[in-house]
Amino acid sequence: MKGRVHKLGDDINTDYIIAGKNKRDTYDPQVIAKHLFEDLDPTLYPRIKKGDIIVAGKNFGCGSSREAAPSVIQAAGISAIIAKSFGRIFFRNAINIGLPVLECDTSGIEDGDELEVDFSKGVIINHRKRTTLPAKKPPQAILSIFREGGLVNYLRNHKQFEFELE
Amino acid sequence: MGKTIAEKIFSTHCKKDVYANDLVIAEIDYIMAHDGNGPLAIDIFRKMGGEKVFDPGKVAFVLDHYVPSPNENVTRIHDTIRNFAKEHNCQLYEVGEGICHQIMMEKGNIQPGGLIVGSDSHTCTYGALNAFGTGTGSTDFAAAMLTGKLWFKVPETVLINLSGKPVPGVYAKDVILYIASLVKADGATYQAMEFTGDYVTAMNMDGRFTFSNMAVEMGAKAGLFEFDDYTRDWFERHGINLENEPVKSDGDAGYSLMIQVNAGEVVPMIAKPHTVDNVSPITDVLDTPINQAYLGTCTNGRFSDLEIAHRILKGKKIHKNTRMFVAPASRKVYLEAIKVGIIEDMVEAGAIIIPPGCGCCVGACNGIPGDGEKVISTANRNFKGRMGNSKAEIYLASPATVAASALFGRITDPRTLL
Ligand code: SF4
């Protein structure tokens, strides 16, 4: 996947991604997507174009277990998230819904850069800066969920967890 | 090689010897969802082709986040859960029973040595009962409901060794906020925490729940305690039979990090807006005016928390510029507090009692602060917008500090009222 970068800082929590109050009345991510990052930067959502990539510092998605957080990011058209590290539950949730999340040192990536991401190999190319960044390669278990578009499809097809563990 | 509590619990739940960083598929003992994430989980369960839950006796739903329902949309969400629970014969805890985590523990759904997943990040609270509770999102929850299993990476463990004697006016919440200031909001990410040491063995269960509850605020997957006489007594008092062997870590277990804390030197602490690790001693923020005080949540809404606040409020009047909301963590806690007169005295003092549940913790109902207002709360999170208004500021503190601050309308050191 290829996309333009929206650069965010450290410790972006799930309340900044989507505040609890917005998901009280509905859990349809399309409906609440307009509130994405509202309390962090209200001008961000209108700037997101389909395929764009979020790049953040450490601990992205810390806080609540709300799956709305990655779902709304996905619904807004974001194709991948790259961060120094992720909140644990956010990371799982993103994998489960088939939203690519990769860990790498993001300090050299800037707002507006063009990235090309190979999720299964864990390789990121920064076209504007002409650099290649190594990311942590996802384990097989994660890739097998991912290949089928997320855990919903995976379990619909397999009924049980069947993947090889390393 | 010796094992940590986490490694032992995962080993028994995947029936082989596993260690930190192994990827495993483990059997789950109990799964829980609430009205905040449950409906999405139900939807996903159906999309997975789910027709039957793997074991209805091991699945519970709790209505606690948006209670009583503030509008018809929320009522519809509650009904979705009610109908699903009925159709699949799962346990349903209705509006007014209390906060999901308190209910899970009080109703006997958590056993020592168990592996529990909940659609809520504070599922780690069960660590105080020597169980590995951990939060998941709705898709994981649905997968667990369908298969009774989930994939995990066995976490490394951070060992926190606490020495020192308890100091009057300083509570478990102060100590865990102090630990958060050392470990930071991401210091234990992907890892478990184990709490041990003289200070811990002398700690009552409500204090341990506060500790375990806050583990996720440092990124941890679980916040574990060993089982001891206090734990046994807690199970007995709640009339819960022990069905599982408790789990102890081995002397030669491997830890990713060990932190020594002298809890005897900790003073009342405050987490300032807008992160839980933005912690300072109360003396740095004394006299900050407070518009709203909140006593409750799965961190500090238990009987001893109410008791501590009551000692400060009894026979006094809450400041005229401050609203104080109190939400007992469960119906059981509420009843106990009524029976000993705590609730009556609190109402006399001017507090507003809201039904057992999450109250205004997550900003969906029951007391949303105004623009520019300052809130002092016993909750676990003070993210901007957490309580429903991003223009409000949230300070986190112990029940004693919250009660003392409500009384004077400004941040007040509870040690001055002892
Ligand atoms: S009391 Fe607050 S932190 Fe605890 S479960 Fe409810 S909303 Fe979450």
CB contact under 8 Å between B121 and A64, yes or no, is yes
User: Rounded distance, CA B272 to CA B376, Å?
Assistant: 9
For chains A and B, count residue pairs whose Cβ atoms are closer than 8 Å.
148
B186 touches chain A (CB under 8 A): yes
Q: Would you call B24 an interface residue with chain A, using a CB distance cutoff of 8 Å?
A: yes
Of B66, B120, B139, the CB nearest to A93: B139
Average pLDDT over residues A8-34: 89
CATH of the domain at B64: 3.30.499.10
Q: How far apart, in whole angstroms, are the C-alpha atoms of residue A80 and residue A100?
A: 5
The secondary structure of residue A139, as a DSSP letter, is: P
Q: How far apart are CA A83 and CA A11, in angstroms?
A: 10
Are B23 and A62 an interchain contact pair (Cβ–Cβ within 8 Å)? Answer: no
What the block records as the tokens of B103 is 């209910």
Same domain, B129 and B100: yes
User: Is A165's pLDDT higher than 80?
Assistant: no
Per-residue pLDDT at A84: 96
- The answer on B315 and B171 residing in a single domain is no
Q: Which atom of ligand 1 is nearest to the CA of B100?
A: 5
Count of domains in chain B? 2
Q: Based on the domain organization, do B251 and B350 belong to the same domain?
A: no
For every one of its 418 residues, what pLDDT tens digit does chain B have, with 9 covering 90 and above? 899 999 999 999 999 999 999 999 999 999 999 999 899 899 999 999 999 999 999 999 999 999 999 999 999 999 999 999 999 999 999 999 999 999 999 999 999 999 999 999 999 999 999 999 999 999 999 999 999 999 999 999 999 999 999 999 999 999 999 999 999 998 999 899 999 999 999 999 999 999 999 999 999 999 999 999 999 999 999 999 999 999 999 999 999 999 999 999 999 999 999 999 999 999 999 999 999 999 999 999 999 999 999 999 999 999 999 999 999 999 999 999 999 999 999 999 999 999 999 999 999 889 999 999 999 999 999 999 999 999 999 999 999 999 999 999 999 999 999 8
**Interface contact flag, B121 A63, Cβ < 8 Å:** yes
Measured in Å, residue B39 CA sits from the centre of ligand 1 at 17
Question: Residue A90 belongs to what H/E stretch?
Answer: helix A88-96
Q: Find the A159 Cα to ligand 1 centroid distance in Å.
A: 32
DSSP β-ladder status, B292-295 and B279-281: unpaired
Q: Are B189 and B219 in contact (CB under 8 A)?
A: yes
Residue at B3 is within a domain = no
Distance B379 CA to ligand 1 centre (A): 8
B352 interfaces chain A, CB cutoff of 8 Å: no
Give the residue with greater pLDDT, B364 vs A110: A110
Tell me the two tokens of residue B373.
Answer: 């207002």
B285 belongs to a structural domain = yes
Q: Which residues contact A7 (CB under 8 A, 6 or more apart)?
A: A55, A56, A106, A109, A110, A111
My answer on whether B275 and B252 are in the same domain is no
Domain hosting B283: range is 270-417
Question: Rounded CA gap, B183 and B216, in Å?
Answer: 11
- Assembly ipTM: 0.88
- Nearest-Cα residue of chain B relative to residue A154: B48
Q: Which residue has the higher pLDDT, A63 or B222?
A: B222
Q: How many CB atoms lie within 10 A of CB B160?
A: 28
Burial class (CB within 10 angstroms; exposed 0-12, middle 13-18, buried 19+) of B186:
buried
Confidence bin at A25 (pLDDT 50/70/90):
confident
A65 contact residues in B (CB cutoff 8 A)? 37, 118-121, 123, 135-137
Query: Nearest C-alpha of chain A: how many angstroms from B81?
Result: 13
Contact A15, B364 (CB under 8 A): no
- pLDDT on residue B350: 98
Domain boundary among the residues B237, B261, B285 is at B261
Q: Per the CB < 8 Å rule, is A27 touching B137?
A: no
Instruction: Look up residue B274 and give its two tokens.
Output: 């807008």
Q: Which atom of ligand 1 sits closest to the CA of residue B296?
A: 1
Contact A88 B190 (CB under 8 A): yes
Q: Report CA(A120)–ligand 1 centroid distance (Å).
A: 36
Which fold is adopted by the domain A2-157? Aconitase; domain 4 (3.20.19)
| Segment A6-18, tens digit of pLDDT | 999 999 999 999 9
pTM: 0.94
Contact B59, B38 (CB under 8 A): no
For the range A30-33, what are the long-range contacts, defined as Cβ-Cβ under 8 Å and sequence gap of 24 or more? A30/A75, A32/A68, A32/A72, A33/A72, A33/A75, A33/A76
Give percent of chain A above pLDDT 70.
Answer: 98
Using alpha carbons, list the distances in angstroms from residue B81 to A18, A23, B87, B108, B177. 22, 16, 10, 21, 35
What's the average model confidence in pLDDT over A71-92?
95
Instruction: Give me ligand 1 centre to Cα B213, in Å.
Output: 10
| Residue from A28, A155, A158 to probe the interface with B (highest B Cβ count within 10 Å) | A155
Is B280 found in the same domain as B239?
Answer: no
| Cα(B385) to centroid(ligand 1), Å | 14
Is A65 close to B119, i.e. CB distance below 8 A? yes
**Residue A166: predicted pLDDT:** 60
Atom of ligand 1 nearest to the CA of B362: 7
Cα separation, B144 vs B123, in Å, equals 15
Name which residue sits closest to atom 2 of ligand 1, judged by CA.
B361
By the 8 A CB rule, do B248 and B226 touch? yes
Cβ of B40 within 8 Å of Cβ of A25? The answer is: no
* Helix, strand, or coil (residue A50): coil
Pair B153, B44 in one domain: yes
A21, A31, A40, A65: best to mutate for the B interface, most B CBs within 10 A? A65
Average pLDDT over residues A90-119: 95
Say if residue B202 is in the same domain as residue B89.
yes
Identify the pLDDT of residue B34.
96
Q: For residue A95, what pLDDT is reported?
A: 93
Distance from Cα B358 to the centre of ligand 1, integer Å: 5
Q: How much is the average pLDDT of A31-50?
A: 94
Q: Which residue has its alpha carbon closest to ligand 1 atom 6?
A: B358
Residues B411 and B398: beta-carbon distance below 8 Å: no
In a shared domain, residues B282 and B305? yes
B362 has a chain A CB within 8 A of its CB: yes
In this structure, the residues whose C-beta lies within 6 A of any atom of ligand 1 are: B 65, 99-100, 120, 122, 297-298, 358, 361-362, 379-380
Indicate whether B317 belongs to any domain.
Answer: yes
- Banded pLDDT at A164 (limits 50, 70, 90): low
pLDDT of residue A140: 87
CB-based contact B207:B172 (threshold 8 Å): yes
Give domain limits for chain A. Answer: 2-157
- Chain-chain contact of B40 with A13 (C-beta, under 8 angstroms): no
**Do the domain assignments include residue B2?**
no
Least CA distance to A58: which residue of chain B?
A: B186
